[in-house]
Every structure is written in structure tokens, then in C-alpha cells.
Amino acid sequence: MVNVQRKTKNKSFKHKKLALLLAIVLLSGAAYALIVLKNHNTAVTGKVNYGPPTAQEKKAGDTVKDDVIARQKQEQEAQQQSEDNASANKKASVIITDANQYDNTVEVRAFIPDYYQNGTCTITFKKDSYTVAKTTPAYKDATTTICTNPLISRTEFATAGTWQLTVAYTAQGASGQSEVKNVMIK
């Protein structure tokens, strides 16, 4: 009788262990699926994802508020600075993105990332005693101020070789100049 009872108890314990193990396996699979799918939407129809927003996409709405607040503060400070230092000249960065000879035309592309104002760009090439300088408008575009490409004819360069290029920007309240860039004129 005693043996039968012990066997029964052991059997019951084994069943519980099995059930617990199964539960763990099930939960693990489900949990993994959830973790992986957290940032991946389902319900893609054709090429358009009509699924609900991911957690990261939902959070984006909160995160952007910080940017909005920072920009508002920046705009207020800029406004204040502008009023306090009406005559002060801000230093603007001038970035040359491309300067090369293409067939018989020398092109210079440059922009100002940190000042947003129409103005003037002066593109200057120097070599030995020679200078080639052009002035073009700088204009506000979507998010930067862009220098107009001067499109200089090769014939304006007295000699072939390496010329030193700088681009300067002037506008109301700001000015700046690029780093020197070597340009090969053929």
C-alpha cells in the first residue's frame, strides 16, 4: 500500500514538472515573437505597411516635442541676440561641395549651413600672380543658403595647373569664408 502511494505521489510530481516545462516553452516562444515583432509591423498590403505604429514610431511623437521646444528656445534667443547686437556680424561657415573643371567649364558649388539669409558669394581662384574672381548671389533654399554656381569658362584661367579656391559669403549680419581648396585646371 505504501509503495503504491509513493508511486502515485512521484507520478503527480512528474506531471507537474512536465506541465511547468511546457508552460515555460510556450511562454518563451511567445515572448520571443513579441520582442522581435515589436518594431516590425505586420499587415503589409502590397508594398504599403498599413500596420499600427511600432513602439519607436509612437515614441517619435514625444521625442520631437523636445526638438520643438529646443528650436523655440533657439528662435527666442536668436531674436534676443539680434535685438541686442543689431550691428554684430555673425561668423558663417562656407562649405564647398564640388569644385572641378568639367570639359571647358569650371564649376563651384558651395553652401552656408549655419546662416539663413540671402547675400553674396565671392568665388576666388588664385595661382601665382593670377586671380579669377566671380560674384554670384547667395539665396535661401529649403534649409540652407546656397551660393549660385559661377560656371566659369576655362578661357578665363591664364594657365593650367593647381589653383587655390576660396568662397566667401556676405549677408546682412553675417560673413564667412571657406577653407582653401586646390582645384586642378587642365
* Binding site residues, another protein, CB under 8 A: 15, 18, 22, 25-26, 28-30, 32-33, 35-37, 39-43, 47-53, 56-58, 60-65, 68-69, 71-72, 74-75, 78-79, 93, 95-98, 100, 102-103, 107, 109-111, 113-116, 140-149, 151
The residue among 93 and 161 lying less far from another protein, judged by its C-beta, is 93
Q: What ranges in 38-162 are assigned the alpha helix state H? A: 55-84
Residue type for 134, please? K
Degrees, nearest 5: CA angle 107-130-97: 25
Minimum CB–partner distance for residue 5 and another protein (Å): 19
Are 177 and 169 in contact by the 8 Å Cβ rule? The answer is: yes
The residue among 2 and 86 lying less far from another protein, judged by its C-beta, is 86
The total number of residues written for the chain in this structure: 186
Q: What number of H helices and E strands is found in the chain?
A: 2, 12
Minimum CB–partner distance for residue 142 and another protein (Å): 5
In 3D, which of 105, 104, 106, 140 has the Cα closest to residue 121? Answer: 140
Minimum CB–partner distance for residue 128 and another protein (Å): 26
The residue among 158 and 160 lying less far from another protein, judged by its C-beta, is 160
Minimum CB–partner distance for residue 35 and another protein (Å): 8
